[in-house]
Structure 1
Amino acid sequence: MSCSKIFSGDLPELTYKIIKYFQNDFSTLHSCILVNRLWCRLAIPLLWENPFSIPTKNYKFIETYLHNLNDDLKKKLSMYNIGDNLFHSNTFFNYPSFIKYLNIFKVIISVEKWFETAVGTLKPENRYLQLNSNISASNFERLIYMSLFEIFIKNEVNLHTLEIEIISNIYNMYYDIILELILQNTDFIHNIKNLNFYNNYNEQVEIKNRTLQLINSYQYLKKILLSYNNFPLYQSLLLSKDYNCSNTLNTIIFYYINFEGINNLDKIFDQLNVLESIHIVYCSFLNNNFIQQIINLTKPFKLKSLFISEISQIESLKLLFQKSGGHLENFGYKFDYNYDLSLKRQLSELLIVYCNNIKFLDFNEFEGQITSFNLIEMIKHNLNYLSISIIGYNDTEHISSIVLQNLGQTLPSVLEYLNLVLKIKADDFEVFLKNSQDTFIKKLLIMNIIQGQNSILPLIKEHIMEKKRVKYLAFIDCDFGCDKDLFSLKDEVKEFSLHNINVKSYYNELIDVYYFTKESD
C-alpha cells in the first residue's frame, strides 16, 4: 500500500526523501523523471543543483541555460551568426533557479568543451553555430561566460557553495571577467554558506586583488587551497583581521608548498579559531623549523592529510605525529625507488604507533616492507582506500610477488577502493584472491605490467566476476606503453555486467590526491 502511494504521489514528503537519497546518482535521477509528474518535479531540481560537476561529455545543458538570455544578450550573440536552434523554444522549468553549487573553473571548462562540440565539429552539416572569421573564439566564449553568470544573477539563485578554483593562467581573462561580474553584484553571494578558494597556480596580481576583494566583501571564507609559490601572496589573508578568516576558515590545504624560510605559521594557526582540517600534500622542507612552529602551537593541529616525497628528519616526523597523529586520516608517499629503506621502515613504525585512524593509504614506489603490511593490519578497522604501486623498480616482479603473497590476509572485510599497480604472475595473484576472498571491494583497479606475460583476466573472471566480489572494476594490461583497457572490450564489459559488475575505464577511476583532499571535508 505504501509503495503504491509513493508512486501515485500521495506521500510527496516521503517521496522527496527517497529521491534525494539518489542525489549524486545521476542515472537513477534521470530514471525518476520518467515515473510521473511529481517525481519529475522532485528530481529535476536535484539534477540541476550542480550540473557543471556532473561527469559527462554532453554539455548541451548550457544551451538550456541560454534560453533564459534577455533580448540584449541575444542580440550580441547574433553577431556570431548563431543558428536559431541554439536557443530552446521552450523549457518546462526555470533551470537556472535550481543551481546551488558553482565552481568557476568547472564553468570555464564546461563552456570550453561545449564550444568545441558546438563550433569545432569538422562536418559542416553539424555546424549549427558559425563564427565570423574576423571575430575570435575567445570573445565568443567570453560572452557566454558573462551571459551565464548574468542569467544566474538575474534569477537571484540561492547559492549554497561558490568555489573560486584557479588551475592555470591561460584562463586569466575569463577569471577576471567572472570575478568582476560577481563583485559588481555582491547580492549574488550574499546568502551562500560556503566560499572556497583553491589557487593551484595563478600569481597574477589582478586576479589576486579581485579574489581578496571578493573574500573581504563576503567575509565567510570556509576553505582555502594554496600551492607552489603563491603562499607568500596570501599570508595577509590568513593573518589580517580584515577578512574575518579567524572565525570562518575551517580547512586549509597546502599543495606542493616550499616551507623553507616561512617562519610565521604558528601565528597563522593560533589565530584561526574554527580550523578543523589541515592537509599537507607533497610539500617540501617539513624539517625542524617547520615542526617546531607546529609544536609551539597552543591549539590542536588537526592534520587530516599528509602526503610526502621526502623525509628531511625522521625525528621531526615523530614530533609531528605525536602532536597530530590521532587526527591523521589520509597518508601517502612517493619516494624515489632507491630511497633509504631504513627511513621507510621507521616511517611505517611511527604510523603504527601514532596514527591509528588512517582511512586513505597510498604507497607509491612500494618496496614490500613487512612493517607496511603490519600498518595495514593495524589500521584496517578504519581503512577505506588503499593504493599500492611499484612502478620504477628493477625487481618489480619480486616485489609484486611479496605484495600479492602478503596483502590479501591483511585487508578489512570491506574496502571502498583498492588500486594495485604491479607486475603480476598468475600464481601470486591466485594466492591474493584466495587470501582476500572474505573482502568485498566496491571499486577495484588493477594495472598489470605484463611485459610479454599472459593476462590475468581469466583469474579475474573466475575469482571476482563469478563470485561478485566487487561492484566496479577497472583493469588494464600495460605492456611497454601499449595499454589494453578492459573497458574498451565491449563483449567483456557486457559479460561482467551480467554479473552486476560495472567495468570502468582505469585512468578515469584513479583517485587524484589533489581532488581527493579538496573534496574530503
Structure 2
Amino acid sequence: MTYQLPTLPTDCLNNIVEFLENDKNTLHSCLLVNRLWCKVSVRILWRDLWDNKERSLRMASSILSTLIACLPNKSKEILFKNGIFISTPTSKSPLFDYTAFCQVLLICEINKIVYNVLRDKPSNNSLSLQDRYCLVTNEIIKMFMNQVSLKKLSYIYNHYQYNLSFTYFFEVRNLSELHCGTNLNSDFYYRLSQTCRNLQSISIEFYSNEVSNELKELISLQNNLKKLTLIAYYGNSWKNIIPSITNHSNTLTKLHLCSDYTNLSLSFVSLFPNLQEIVFSFLESADFEDFKVLQFSNFPNLQILKIPYHCPKPEYVMRFLEINGKNLKNFYISENDKDLSLSIANFCPNLKSLCVTLNNDEIDILKNIFIGCQYLERIKIWCGGDYLTVEKVLETIVNHSSNNFYELKIHNSSNSAYVSSEILELFFMKWKNRLPKKSLNLIGINCFYYNYNSLVNEENLNIIKKYENLGVVKFRTRSYYEEGKEEEN
C-alpha cells in the first residue's frame, strides 16, 4: 500500500515559496515538483526578471525567445512581415503567460537583450539593425504595458541605446514606482500620465536643465507621491522641476538628492515638512551654501538622515541636528569632525543606527556616543590609518554598548586596519558572557584601494567559525561598492 503525501493548499504553498524569493537555485528546483509548484515558483522567478546583471548571451537569447513566444498574434505578424524571425522554445503556446507575472520592467535591460541577440543574428532583409531593434523592442514593451501586474518601470535613455518612440496607448494603472530621465521623448510621459496617477516613488535623472511640460504634468497628477529621488550630474540642475514637486508637500516622506557637485538648490527641501528620510549624496566638495538656510528648518517626523559623501559645514549640520536630531533613528555621515561627532551624543538620543568617522585619538567620543545613545543597535565605523584601530573599537563595543546593540560594521580604510587573533577571540569571549545574551552581526567591509579586510585571515576565520558554531556571532564580508550602494538607497 502506497502512502501519498497530502497536497498543500495553494495559499499555504504560496506563503512558503515566498520565503525563497532570493534563493533562485531552490526556486528552480521547485519547478520540477509538479504543475502547481511550477506555477507558484514561476510567478516568483518572473516577478523581477532583470535582477541578474551578468547574464550570458545564451541566457539573454532564452529570455528573448520566451518573450517572443508570449507576444500577441498581432505583434508576431508585424515581426514576420518585416522579416524578423526569432525562434521560440516550442511551436506551441507557452505553458504560462509569463509576462503576466512580471512586476518590474527595466526598459534598458530589454534594450540590452534585444540588441545583443540581434547584433549577432544575420538579417534576411534590408532593415538596419536599428530598425529591427526598434521593432522588436517596441512590441515587447507594448506587451508589458498592457499588464495590470506591473508595479515598477525604469526607462533611462543614454548614448548606448536608441530613444524609442511610443506610438501606442499605455494601460498601466497600478504602477507604483518610476525611474526615468529628462531626455526621453515627451510622448512617453504624456501617454503614461493618461492612466498612471498613483505613483508612490519617482526617480528622475537630469540630462539637461530643461524639463518637458509632459514630465511636469505627470508629476503634478500623482495622488499620493511618497518618495522622490533627483539625480543631477555633469552640471545639470533640478531647478525647473521644483514647482511641480511642491504640489506634494503634504504626502512626500522620502527625499534623495544626488549630484556630482553641491552648488544646487537645497532650500526647497524645507517645503516638505513631513519628510521622514533625507539623503544628501554629493560627490564633490563645496560649501553647501544653500544648506545655510536649510539648517534652521524643522522636520518633526525626520527619522533617517544620510550624508554618505561630502558634507555641509559641520556647524550647519550641528545646528540641523540640534533642531531635528531628537527623533532621528538612522544617521549616516562621512565627515570627520570632532565637534560634529560629539554633538551626536547630545542631540540624537534615540538613534538606532549610526555611521561615524573618528580619529585614532577620539575613542572617548565613541564611548560618549554609546552613553548618550542608549537605544543604539547598529554602528558602522571606519578603522585603520588615521582612524580608530579595530582593537579600540572592539574593546569599546563590548564594554560600553547598550543591551540593544547587535550589529558592528568595520569599514577598512587601509591595509593597516589589522586585528590579531588573540584580540578577536578575547572580544568574542567577553561578548559571549554579556547579559542578556544576543548574537552579534559582525560585517567586514573591504578597503576600497586594496580590497583588504582586517578580519579575514586564516587564524581569524577559524576563530570566527568557532564562535559562529556557538551562536555568538554571525559574520560576513561586503565589498566597498555593495556597501556604498546600500547607503545611497
Q: TM-score, normalised by structure 2?
A: 0.73
Q: Which one-letter code corresponds to 1:231 in the other structure?
A: W
Of 331, 349, 369, 2:342 maps to 349
Give the distance between the partners of 1:321 and 1:195, measured in 2 at CA.
28
Does the CA-based 8 Å contact 2:47-2:102 persist in structure 1?
yes
Aligned length: 447
Pairwise CA RMSD? 4.4
| Equivalent position of 1:254 in the other structure | 257
Shift of 1:67: 1.5
Equivalent residue of 1:238, what SS?
A: helix
Shift of 1:92: 1.5
Given the superposition, is the C-alpha separation of residues 267 and 251 from structure 1 closer, same or farther in structure 2, using an over 3 Å criterion?
closer
Residues 358-397 of structure 1, C-alpha deviation per residue, up to 9 Å, x if partnerless? 455445696563145326635585434625265xx5x68x
Given the superposition, is the C-alpha separation of residues 314 and 471 from structure 1 closer, same or farther in structure 2, using an over 3 Å criterion?
closer
Whether 1:231 and 2:223 are equivalent positions in the alignment is: no
Equivalent residue of 2:366, what SS?
A: helix
Q: Identity over aligned residues, as a percent?
A: 16
Given the superposition, is the C-alpha separation of residues 91 and 416 from structure 1 closer, same or farther in structure 2, using an over 3 Å criterion?
farther
Given the superposition, is the C-alpha separation of residues 321 and 61 from structure 1 closer, same or farther in structure 2, using an over 3 Å criterion?
same
Q: Which one-letter code corresponds to 1:198 in the other structure?
A: S
Whether 1:428 and 2:420 are equivalent positions in the alignment is: yes
Shift of 1:195: 4.0
Equivalent residue of 1:173, what SS?
A: coil
Q: Which one-letter code corresponds to 2:9 in the other structure?
A: L
Does the CA-based 8 Å contact 1:406-1:432 persist in structure 2?
no
Whether 1:173 and 2:191 are equivalent positions in the alignment is: no
| Equivalent position of 1:107 in the other structure | 107
Give the distance between the partners of 1:88 and 1:248, measured in 2 at CA.
50
| Equivalent position of 1:95 in the other structure | 98
Q: Which one-letter code corresponds to 1:349 in the other structure?
A: L
| Equivalent position of 2:75 in the other structure | 73
Moved more, 318-327 or 281-290: 281-290
Give the distance between the partners of 1:453 and 1:198, measured in 2 at CA.
34
| Equivalent position of 1:306 in the other structure | 306
Q: Which runs of 5+ in 2 are unaligned?
A: 165-180, 432-438
Shift of 1:150: 0.7
Equivalent residue of 1:9, what SS?
A: coil
Give the distance between the partners of 1:182 and 1:92, measured in 2 at CA.
34
| Equivalent position of 2:172 in the other structure | none
Give the distance between the partners of 1:151 and 1:92, measured in 2 at CA.
17
Equivalent residue of 1:249, what SS?
A: coil
Give the distance between the partners of 1:400 and 1:110, measured in 2 at CA.
45
Q: Which one-letter code corresponds to 1:158 in the other structure?
A: S
| Equivalent position of 1:325 in the other structure | 325
Does the CA-based 8 Å contact 2:326-2:350 persist in structure 1?
yes
Equivalent residue of 1:512, what SS?
A: helix
| Equivalent position of 1:484 in the other structure | none
Give the distance between the partners of 2:86 and 2:94, measured in 1 at CA.
18
Q: Which one-letter code corresponds to 2:11 in the other structure?
A: E
Residues 266-295 of structure 1, C-alpha deviation per residue, up to 9 Å, x if partnerless? 66225xxx5433222238667675354452
Equivalent residue of 1:8, what SS?
A: coil
Give the distance between the partners of 1:289 and 1:426, measured in 2 at CA.
40
Residues 311-346 of structure 1, C-alpha deviation per residue, up to 9 Å, x if partnerless? 6543322220022213434433445xxxxx7xx111
Does the CA-based 8 Å contact 1:167-1:199 persist in structure 2?
no
Whether 1:26 and 2:30 are equivalent positions in the alignment is: no
Whether 1:295 and 2:296 are equivalent positions in the alignment is: yes
Does the CA-based 8 Å contact 1:349-1:371 persist in structure 2?
no
Shift of 1:108: 0.5
Q: Matches of residues 324-473 of structure 1 in structure 2 within 5 Å?
A: 324-334=324-334, 344-363=337-356, 367=360, 369-371=362-364, 373-374=366-367, 377-378=370-371, 379=373, 381-384=375-378, 386=380, 388=382, 390=384, 399=389, 414-415=406-407, 419-424=411-416, 428=420, 430-436=422-428, 438=431, 439-441=439-441, 444-447=444-447, 457-468=457-468, 473=476
Does the CA-based 8 Å contact 1:389-1:421 persist in structure 2?
yes
Give the distance between the partners of 1:301 and 1:350, measured in 2 at CA.
20
Given the superposition, is the C-alpha separation of residues 140 and 99 from structure 1 closer, same or farther in structure 2, using an over 3 Å criterion?
same
| Equivalent position of 1:483 in the other structure | none
Does the CA-based 8 Å contact 1:182-1:188 persist in structure 2?
no
Give the distance between the partners of 1:508 and 1:459, measured in 2 at CA.
23
| Equivalent position of 1:157 in the other structure | 148
Equivalent residue of 1:233, what SS?
A: helix
Give the distance between the partners of 1:452 and 1:12, measured in 2 at CA.
48
Decide which structure has greater helix share: 1
Give the distance between the partners of 1:264 and 1:89, measured in 2 at CA.
59
Does the CA-based 8 Å contact 1:49-1:100 persist in structure 2?
yes
Give the distance between the partners of 1:51 and 1:17, measured in 2 at CA.
20
Given the superposition, is the C-alpha separation of residues 303 and 461 from structure 1 closer, same or farther in structure 2, using an over 3 Å criterion?
closer
Does the CA-based 8 Å contact 1:334-1:364 persist in structure 2?
yes
| Equivalent position of 2:436 in the other structure | none
Does the CA-based 8 Å contact 1:409-1:435 persist in structure 2?
no
Does the CA-based 8 Å contact 1:153-1:185 persist in structure 2?
no
Equivalent residue of 1:49, what SS?
A: coil
Does the CA-based 8 Å contact 1:362-1:386 persist in structure 2?
yes
Given the superposition, is the C-alpha separation of residues 400 and 171 from structure 1 closer, same or farther in structure 2, using an over 3 Å criterion?
farther
Shift of 1:354: 1.7
| Equivalent position of 2:484 in the other structure | 512
Q: Which one-letter code corresponds to 1:440 in the other structure?
A: L
Shift of 1:130: 3.0
Does the CA-based 8 Å contact 2:32-2:38 persist in structure 1?
yes
Give the distance between the partners of 1:247 and 1:97, measured in 2 at CA.
34
Does the CA-based 8 Å contact 1:363-1:389 persist in structure 2?
no
Q: Which one-letter code corresponds to 2:187 in the other structure?
A: E
Q: Which one-letter code corresponds to 2:45 in the other structure?
A: L
Equivalent residue of 1:300, what SS?
A: coil
Shift of 1:111: 3.8
Does the CA-based 8 Å contact 1:166-1:202 persist in structure 2?
no
Q: Matches of residues 48-59 of structure 1 in structure 2 within 5 Å?
A: 48-53=46-51, 57=55, 58-59=59-60
| Equivalent position of 1:63 in the other structure | 65
Give the distance between the partners of 1:196 and 1:75, measured in 2 at CA.
37
Q: Which one-letter code corresponds to 1:302 in the other structure?
A: L
Does the CA-based 8 Å contact 2:300-2:324 persist in structure 1?
yes
Equivalent residue of 2:317, what SS?
A: helix
Give the distance between the partners of 2:92 and 2:474, measured in 1 at CA.
42
Q: Which runs of 5+ in 1 are unaligned?
A: 121-126, 336-340, 475-505
Given the superposition, is the C-alpha separation of residues 422 and 62 from structure 1 closer, same or farther in structure 2, using an over 3 Å criterion?
same
Given the superposition, is the C-alpha separation of residues 458 and 252 from structure 1 closer, same or farther in structure 2, using an over 3 Å criterion?
same
Give the distance between the partners of 1:109 and 1:385, measured in 2 at CA.
36
